[in-house]
A and B are shown apart, each in its own frame.
Chain A
């Protein structure tokens, strides 16, 4: 059984005041998410990720098509006992403490006061909220609120967790913490469905991705299978002089001095970074980091849409 199953899910919104007309936000999306996997639901802003999440939480109703979670329709109350949800940029009640907020949400699941308290404390420990749990939420930073948000999504020990842009607005440390938390949830056997417009988030944790553009699902599968091109490499090194770097790596697109003897070398896509690293290390350099410059999601979409149009045009010409 699939954890999440979408079949030709479509949502039209009516726009305009005097003469409302439909605007398609989600266009016949069909997608399956297997139990125990982390699916990255990717797309640029406005592509329909949040609309899909809202359809799955039945915050909005579909125009046509269907959505199931754990084999039951999304509106089923029993299904909601088995799922967790973190909305995008969540707002929680400013005047409550994190402890009170979690107890409140636990009570909505029907847990008694004692059990609600136990779950609240244990989850706040898990997401790293210490004594601050007794402070009002208005005093929390964005990162802390996001952790509280994840804690509330786990208050019922869910089988499937939906996270809408969980990394949004977080600093690098916060992103790392959330990434670790999501991986630990996967290790516990939970299914994760998370949306993001940042490709690197998906690369770090997703077993599979689905890519959305203008409400249409344009690709899904493993990232490596999608054919996202590497546009180049960024190599950070130290312990070597700039003139030496340019001599050892003549293929470099650019070499930038950062500070304290650190340099960043931009390498073209066709270059083999392993060979460059071996050369540099052999000359006494120390490697600080190596990052691929992937084609961005936006570039990927443009490429896909252009190809689609070319195919359609070619087909018409042959007819």
Chain B
């Protein structure tokens, strides 16, 4: 396990040095300017909109980190041949995949933690500056702990997207892996529609294929509880646990597949 730890720490350090965290500056700028604009344009809805924006931006910025670092974990290392020196050391190939995944999840966690603080910072500022009378019109407090559930599920979703990017990068080039990951991300958000297709189309085979695909492809919409949280609707612990269990099963399966592909691959 010391090799996995060494690789994970290395991935985190490389990400930091690669100026990945610059996106946080962009995120903070986006949040502050968006809040200011919302404050000017919306009448009494700014907290809801800022929560929506904050969660959406966290998901979008996280997605870009997950995809672009995820695909770079293996395919870029193969293209640059930096992997050769690592694989000549006493390290199993599956440890390389695992170490890289853990390192990227660590990078994502730190990124997300800073984004959460930024969103809560903006909401906290509104909460302090608005009058008590105005606050009474809010469905939920500005600094609502329930938002942490939404942030947590975004993080789990990004862990899943990362493993998808990692899986594709074990057998394809960076560009192909990025395209496939973004494609799967989009399809993954329409999983429910895919499942419902058999009810609306009059072709049993197409309906069966769509249903089968919906079970194989990741259901990423399940991780989006932003609307519930923003509108003060409860998200049950059972739902969160089930969604996390689903993600971990999917992550585990894809990690095993990525390790298997990586272990058999010729690095020409």
Binding site for B on A (CB under 8 A): 13, 54, 57-61, 77-78, 80-81, 83-85, 87, 89-93, 95-96, 100, 104-105, 107-110, 149, 152, 156, 162
**Residue of B whose beta carbon sits closest to that of A25:** B268
Q: Is the CB of B85 within 8 A of A93?
A: no
User: Do the beta carbons of B85 and A152 come within 8 Å of each other?
Assistant: yes
The complex places the Cα of A92 from the Cα of B2 at a distance, in Å, of 21
User: Nearest Cβ distance between residue A79 and chain B, in whole angstroms?
Assistant: 8
Contact bitstring B86-122, A, C-beta under 8 A = 1, else 0: 1111111000000000000000000000000000000
Alpha-carbon distance A130/B81, docked complex (angstroms): 26
B10 within 8 Å of A by Cβ?
Answer: yes
The yes or no answer to B136 lying at the interface (CB within 8 A) is no
Interface string of B180-194 (1 = CB under 8 A from A): 000000000000000
Q: Is the CB of B90 within 8 A of A80?
A: yes
Complex Cα spacing A108 to B93, Å: 12
Known contacts A54-B267, A107-B6: A93-B89 contact under CB 8 Å = no
Do residues B90 and A57 form an inter-chain contact, with CB atoms below 8 A?
A: no
Interchain CB contact under 8 A, B88 and A80: yes
Does B266 sit at the interface, judged by CB under 8 A? yes
Q: Residue on B with the closest CB to A104?
A: B10
Known: A85-B84, A96-B17, A108-B7. 20 other contacts (CB 8 A): A54-B267, A57-B87, A61-B266, A77-B92, A80-B89, A81-B90, A85-B85, A87-B81, A89-B81, A93-B10, A95-B17, A95-B18, A104-B10, A105-B85, A105-B89, A107-B2, A107-B6, A108-B86, A149-B85, A162-B88
- Interface size class on chain B is 20 to 34
**Chain A contacts for B87, CB-based, 8 A:** 57-59
Q: Considering the chains assembled together, what is the distance between the CA atoms of A77 and B91 in angstroms?
A: 7
Task: Write the chain A residue with the least CB distance to B5.
Answer: A107
User: Quick one: which of B13, B82, B90, B91 contacts A92, CB cutoff 8 A?
Assistant: B82
The answer for the CA separation of A108 and B2 in the assembled complex, in Å, is: 7
User: Distance (Å) between the CB of A300 and the closest chain B CB?
Assistant: 28
A90 and B85 in contact, given A108-B91, A109-B90 (Cβ under 8 angstroms): yes
Among candidates B14, B88, B264, residue contacting A83 with C-beta atoms closer than 8 Å: B88
A59 contacts across to B, CB distance below 8 A:
84, 87-88, 266-267
In the complex, what residues of B have CB within 8 A of residue A80's CB? 88-91
B84: which A residues are within 8 A, CB to CB?
A: 54, 57, 59, 85, 87, 90
Q: Which of A13, A61, A81, A105 has the most CB of B within 10 A?
A: A105
Contacts of B82 in A (CB 8 A): 90-93
Contact check, A13 vs B268: say whether CB atoms are below 8 A apart.
yes
Q: Is B89 a contact of A109 with CB atoms below 8 Å? A: yes
A65 to chain B, nearest CB (A): 15
Which residues of A sit under 8 angstroms from B90, Cβ to Cβ? Answer: 77-78, 80-81, 108-110
- Alpha-carbon distance A84/B84, docked complex (angstroms): 12
Give a binary string over B8-19; 1 marks a CB under 8 Å from any A CB, 0 the rest. Answer: 001001100110
In the complex, chain B residues 1-45 whose Cβ is within 8 Å of any chain A Cβ:
2-3, 6-7, 10, 13-14, 17-18
Q: Please judge, given known A-B contacts A54-B267, A60-B267, A96-B17, whether A104 and B6 are in contact too, CB under 8 Å.
A: yes
A20–chain B nearest beta-carbon distance, Å = 13
Return the chain A residue nearest B82 by Cβ.
A91
| Nearest 3 pairs of A and B residues by beta carbon | A95-B17, A85-B88, A107-B6
A140 to chain B, nearest CB (A): 14
Of B82, B88, B267, chain A has the most CB atoms within 10 Å of the CB of B88
**Interface residue ranges of B142-183 to A (CB < 8 Å):** none
